[in-house]
Amino acid sequence: MNTTTKRPSPARARLIDAATRLFYEEGIHAVGVDRVIEEAAVTRATLYKQFGGKENLVLAYLAGEDEALRSMFADAGAAVADPDDLLTAVIDGIAADISHRHTRGCPFINAAAEYPDAAGAVRRLIGEHREWFRATLQAVAEGAGLTRPADVAASLVLLRDAALVGGYLDGDDRVTPAFERTARSVIDAHRRA
């Protein structure tokens, strides 16, 4: 049995890297495939061979964002044994994301705004990501023994969405502390007495 993992070709990786940066910084529809091709230093034929078209490149971009967040959660779960500490690590991780990584809003919300068809492939991927995120937060809340963990998860998703958008519009220096205070208030309100 072959257990080696096939790595993407260097050209594919460059296309995804260029698309990730450009789509996030400038908007998906604002960036044409020619721009991505130029930034990735590949040919048009390479883009179409690797992805078949722009929508599949968009899906690869969003899948990469999803995988990055899943990896952050997995790393936190592996590094933190205490459920209360994991909850704190999640809040701190989201705050760091708002301040340092996603300073132009949420890539999933941004993409959803550009792809209004809820039945389309892009929106389905976004929906799957959001369901995973919500379920993961609920599991963390359950592990910490909070009451109504589904409500905690829904509140934290809402707060994260608002903080990512607010951080872009109003500056993370104003929004991140408010997110942290509010998220901790939600958690404290659901601690068992």
Domain boundaries in the chain?
8-52, 60-189
Mean pLDDT over all residues of the chain? 93
User: Which residues does residue 105 pair with via DSSP β-bridges, in sequence order?
Assistant: 103
Give me the pLDDT at residue 4, please. Answer: 54
- Average pLDDT for residues 25-38, to the nearest whole number? 97
CATH of 60-189, one of 1.10.1240.10, 3.40.50.450, 1.10.357.10, 2.60.40.10: 1.10.357.10
Asked whether residue 2 carries a pLDDT value surpassing 70, the answer given is no
Give me the pLDDT at residue 101, please. Answer: 85
* Cα distances (Å, whole numbers) of residue 149 to 92, 153, 189: 19, 6, 11
Asked whether residue 166 carries a pLDDT value surpassing 80, the answer given is yes
φ and ψ at 117, to 5 degrees? -75, 105
8-52 maps to CATH 1.10.10.60: yes
Quick one: which H or E segment has residue 80? none
Asked whether residue 135 carries a pLDDT value surpassing 70, the answer given is yes
Residue of 117, 123, 106 whose CA lies nearest to 165: 106
Q: What angle do CA 180, 135, 84 make, to 5 degrees?
A: 45
Asked whether residue 9 carries a pLDDT value surpassing 60, the answer given is yes
- Average pLDDT for residues 103-127, to the nearest whole number? 96
Give me the pLDDT at residue 106, please. Answer: 95
Instruction: Say what percent of the chain tops pLDDT 90.
Output: 84
Asked whether residue 193 carries a pLDDT value surpassing 70, the answer given is no
Give me the pLDDT at residue 26, please. Answer: 97
E strands within 90-176?
none
- Average pLDDT for residues 37-60, to the nearest whole number? 96
Q: How far apart are CA 148 and CA 153, in angstroms?
A: 9
